[in-house]
Amino acid sequence: MNNIESLRHLTEVVETAGTDIAPTYAEYVQLAFAIATDCGEAGREFFHRLCRLSAKYQHEHAEQIFSNALLKQHGDIHLGTVFHLSEMAGIEFPAEKAINNQMGTVGTENSPHQNLTHAHVYNKVSNKETEDESETEELLPGSEPQQPLPTFPTADWPEFLMRIMSYGTTAAQHDILLLGSLTALGASMERYVRCPYAGKYQSPCLQTFIVAPPASGKGILSFVRLLVEPIHDQLRQQTEEDMKNYQKEKAAYDVMGKERGKTSAPEMPKNKMFLISGNNTGTGILQNIMDANGTGFICEAEADTISTAIGSEYGHWSDTLRKAFDHDRLSYNRRTDREYREVKKSFLSVLLSGTPAQVKSLIPSSENGLLSRQIFYYMYGIQIWINQFDKDETDLETTFTNMGLEWKEKLELLKKHGIHTLRFTDKQKQEFNQHFSNLFNRSDIANGNEMSSSVARLAINTCRIMAEVATLRALENPDPYHLQATGNPNFTPDKEIAADNIKDNIITRWDVTITPEDFKAVLGLITPLYRHATHILSFLPSTEVSHRTNADRDAFFEALGNEFTRRQVLEVAEKMAIKPNTALTWLKRSIKRGLITSVDGKGTYARTRVCAC
């Protein structure tokens, strides 16, 4: 029986049993090398058939692993490994064994059971892992991290946010309602609220992506849209009225005859809206933003609505999202009618939800600028059934719509009084910088340069959130613009406003401070959001590095602290269900990159860059 016939027979037996013979990544790699070595390209079909029995099977990833095995081919791993993996999984091959015994071929060159024992093969792969990190560190795309991703710390947020969050039934739902409402409310604040950072003003315009398996509870996010629908509805109603007036004026103009030369033609009103559809063309999205004076909010429950639109023939507006994050100028030029339009400042916000598979469709690689600009939150799938009838009879649509009307009134008051600028104290600036300096160093150890831009832009998003939270807190005061009001912190006139203007109550720019409690609450979001982003990174193809256990690797080094021993490395790895060789590989790479150094040459290590916490 030749190698292909043996593999075909084995595959049929395993398929009949319905058993996953390579449940871990190390065994998965062994399976690929064993089949590639003895069967070459002809074994690809059987590799897929065997892998398909795993719940984690993904065709594209299996293709990549097998192609890599064909290219590298370990000559010391043969089909005997596949049979051994099968036997370890409880598969029996009585007929095969009988044939081998009769022919006396067990352990020979032609035997389906090659001369390498499973233990020997495993050691070969483990040793190779130290040399080639890609073979042990990679998780299957979309795999759950070994260490649970953190939820947000409990905090006393402004009352309006607390009310919104109260309708979540789990910690994760509380978190996504907080992120969703910050994104929606911040979108409506646009240019009227800001924070100076890195030489420019940052408005609370966020791009947030909630990632979760189907039916995981992220559907509650749809209610967030209702918080800003009254703003959108008012714009649409005004646009419809303007259009009716235009049509009347245009009809009168058309019948004027020769008198038309004495008057100007009526101008068609702008098609104003606040909620912009993600199912849009490149020019269409720009027109929507420009008609609304640079503002807009894209809110889509399925992320592939946007990725499909961007990938269409008339799409390609991924660059619009990237530019809008930085409040950059947007423009377009049409050659047909020589139309040129631009808006000097853009204030676009985005709130998306989708499955892990939809992440890669929108963000094809870690080098795509959308990865670092977006705030990510990963929700786990449902683990147990929850009784959906054990709820009160609250109509959440009505509840959130009423809160939207309430917010619309507060927003009108805010806009009426002009621009509101968050001013940090020197102590807050120092604490902010220290916090992100620590996070930047932590990210460098765990993920190299792949997360550096994400950390840098997380700092921008943090400033934006702080400006928004400070404003919401000030608006809790019944009369926040009364200069002698007491109680909650209020808005104060900008220092450059003339005294006479203040006396006459002509104030168009206000300063706002953030309370120590709110400052701490927003800082508490940073590490969890960073951890969630590292997990989302694992869904994307590798660039600088080929390993993909980002969230677990980050948690591993954080658990070790600033100084540790080799023994502690292995102990922490065991507690976190990380393979010892994988943990030692992570340590070795960090030493090579100069991020960790040996203290005494006897197994004690320390981070080379340690910031005071």
- pLDDT tens readout for residues 74-123: 666 888 888 888 887 777 765 444 334 333 333 333 333 433 333 333 33
Residue 544 pairs in a beta bridge with none
How much is the pLDDT for 315? 67
- 167-194 confidence digits (pLDDT tens): 998 899 999 999 999 999 999 999 999 9
Polymer length of the chain:
613
Mean per-residue pLDDT for 222-241? Answer: 96
How much is the pLDDT for 138? 44
- Name the nearest CA neighbour of 548 among 134, 2, 211, 264: 134
Local confidence band at 52 (pLDDT 50, 70, 90 cut-offs) = confident
Query: What angle (nearest 5°) sits at the alpha carbon of residue 201, between those of residues 197 and 205?
Result: 100
How much is the pLDDT for 409? 96
Local confidence band at 323 (pLDDT 50, 70, 90 cut-offs) = very high
> Which residues lie below 8 Å from residue 470, measured CB to CB, with a gap of 6+?
422, 489, 512, 513, 514, 515, 518
How far apart are the C-alpha atoms of 48 and 51, rounded to whole Å?
5
- 56-76 confidence digits (pLDDT tens): 788 888 888 888 888 876 666
How far apart are the C-alpha atoms of 367 and 401, rounded to whole Å?
39
pLDDT score of 583 more than 70: yes
How much is the pLDDT for 137? 46
Angle between helical axes of 318-325 and 282-291 (0-180°, round to 10): 30
Please check whether residue 564 is in contact with residue 469, taking contact to mean a CB–CB distance below 8 angstroms: no
- Name the nearest CA neighbour of 299 among 408, 382, 179: 179
How much is the pLDDT for 91? 79
- Name the nearest CA neighbour of 552 among 61, 126, 25: 25
- 433-451 confidence digits (pLDDT tens): 999 999 998 888 887 777 8
pLDDT score of 336 more than 70: no
How far apart are the C-alpha atoms of 400 and 227, rounded to whole Å?
6
Local confidence band at 217 (pLDDT 50, 70, 90 cut-offs) = confident
What letter does residue 145 receive in the DSSP assignment? P
Please check whether residue 188 is in contact with residue 203, taking contact to mean a CB–CB distance below 8 angstroms: no
Residue 275, phi then psi, degrees to nearest 5: -85, 115
User: 3-state DSSP call for residue 394?
Assistant: coil
User: 3-state DSSP call for residue 7?
Assistant: helix
Per mean pLDDT, which range of 36-50, 403-417, 485-499 is the poorest?
485-499
- Name the nearest CA neighbour of 376 among 393, 347, 353, 394: 353
User: 3-state DSSP call for residue 299?
Assistant: strand
Per mean pLDDT, which range of 125-129, 178-182, 291-295 is the poorest?
125-129
Local confidence band at 610 (pLDDT 50, 70, 90 cut-offs) = low
pLDDT over 70, % of the chain? 84
Can you read off the two tokens belonging to residue 423? 């001013």
Please check whether residue 306 is in contact with residue 208, taking contact to mean a CB–CB distance below 8 angstroms: no
Please tell me which residue, 607 or 469, carries the higher pLDDT value: 469
User: 3-state DSSP call for residue 249?
Assistant: helix
The residue extents of the domains of the chain are 3-135, 561-607
pLDDT score of 402 more than 50: yes
pLDDT score of 142 more than 90: no
Q: Are strands 375-378 and 207-211 parallel, antiparallel or unpaired?
A: parallel
Residue type, position 230, single letter: P
How much is the pLDDT for 310? 84
Please tell me which residue, 483 or 62, carries the higher pLDDT value: 62
How far apart are the C-alpha atoms of 303 and 382, rounded to whole Å?
20
How much is the pLDDT for 126? 37
Please tell me which residue, 164 or 609, carries the higher pLDDT value: 164
What letter does residue 55 receive in the DSSP assignment? T
Please check whether residue 295 is in contact with residue 348, taking contact to mean a CB–CB distance below 8 angstroms: yes
Prediction pTM value: 0.74
Mean per-residue pLDDT for 125-144? Answer: 43
Q: Where are the beta strands (DSSP E) in 324-365?
A: 330-334, 339-343, 347-354
Mean per-residue pLDDT for 275-300? Answer: 93
How much is the pLDDT for 200? 94
Q: Are strands 193-197 and 347-354 parallel, antiparallel or unpaired?
A: unpaired
pLDDT score of 296 more than 80: yes
How much is the pLDDT for 223? 95
How much is the pLDDT for 611? 52
How much is the pLDDT for 87? 80
How much is the pLDDT for 255? 86
Mean per-residue pLDDT for 544-559? Answer: 70
How much is the pLDDT for 517? 96
Mean per-residue pLDDT for 215-244? Answer: 93
Please check whether residue 344 is in contact with residue 330, taking contact to mean a CB–CB distance below 8 angstroms: no
How far apart are the C-alpha atoms of 301 and 220, rounded to whole Å?
10
How much is the pLDDT for 437? 92
Local confidence band at 210 (pLDDT 50, 70, 90 cut-offs) = very high
**Highest averaged pLDDT of the listed ranges 356-370, 548-562, 564-578:** 564-578
Average per-residue pLDDT in the chain? 83
pLDDT score of 511 more than 90: yes
